[in-house]
C-alpha cells in the first residue's frame, strides 16, 4: 500500500471514530444543574395508610374488575409455558418468572413513550381480588395524567 493510501485509510478510520463518538459526547453534554433527581424505574413504596389518605374513595377490586383492568392471577402468570392445556398453564407447574414480586404498591418515575420525557411519581396500586388474583387500579381512577 502506498503512502497516500495509508493516509487515506487513517483519515477514514479517524472520521468513523469521530462520527461514532458524537452521540456519546452529546449524551454527556446535557445540563445536570437541576436539583430534582429522577429515579427512573425505582419503586418508592406506599403504605396502606398513605394510599387511603391519597385516595380515600378508591373503588373495590370487584368494581374495578367489572369495568376492565390489568389482572394478574398467580395460579397461571409466570408458570412454565410447556404445561399449557386449554390455553392456560397448569397451576401446579413450576413458576419460572416471579410475577408476585411486581405486585407492589408504589410510585415510580417512568418513560413517557407517547409524549416523550419522563412521567414523575406515577402511582401503581394493586388491590387483591381473591386469594390468587390481583387487580391494578387504572391511572385515571387514581387521577394521574401524563400531561
Using DSSP's 3-state secondary structure scheme, residue 45 falls into strand
Strands (E), 42-105: 44-45, 70-73
CB atoms within 10 A of CB 3: 7
CB 92 within 8 A of CB 119: no
The pLDDT score that the predictor gives to residue 31 is 43
If we measure between CA atoms, which residue out of 81, 102, 99 comes closest to residue 90?
Answer: 81
Residues 88-129: pLDDT tens digits?
A: 788 888 888 888 888 999 999 988 888 888 888 999 999 999
Per-residue pLDDT, averaged over 132-140, amounts to 93
* Distance in angstroms (rounded) separating the CA atoms of residues 75 and 92: 8
Residues 27-50: pLDDT tens digits?
A: 443 444 454 566 787 889 999 999
pTM comes to 0.67
Amino acid at each position: 500500500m502506498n503512502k497516500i493510501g495509508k493516509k487515506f485509510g487513517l483519515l477514514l478510520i479517524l472520521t468513523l471514530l469521530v462520527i461514532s463518538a458524537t452521540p456519546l459526547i452529546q449524551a454527556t453534554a446535557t445540563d445536570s444543574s437541576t436539583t430534582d433527581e429522577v429515579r427512573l424505574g425505582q419503586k418508592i413504596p406506599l403504605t396502606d395508610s398513605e394510599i387511603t389518605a391519597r385516595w380515600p374513595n378508591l373503588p373495590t377490586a370487584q368494581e374495578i374488575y367489572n369495568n376492565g383492568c390489568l389482572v394478574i392471577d398467580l395460579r397461571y402468570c409466570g408458570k412454565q409455558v410447556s404445561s399449557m392445556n386449554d390455553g392456560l398453564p397448569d397451576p401446579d407447574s413450576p413458576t419460572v418468572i416471579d410475577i408476585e414480586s411486581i405486585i407492589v404498591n408504589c410510585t415510580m418515575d417512568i418513560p413517557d413513550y407517547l409524549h416523550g420525557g419522563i412521567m414523575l411519581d406515577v402511582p401503581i396500586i394493586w388491590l387483591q381480588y381473591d386469594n390468587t388474583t390481583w387487580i391494578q387500579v387504572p391511572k385515571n381512577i387514581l387521577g394521574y395524567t401524563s400531561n
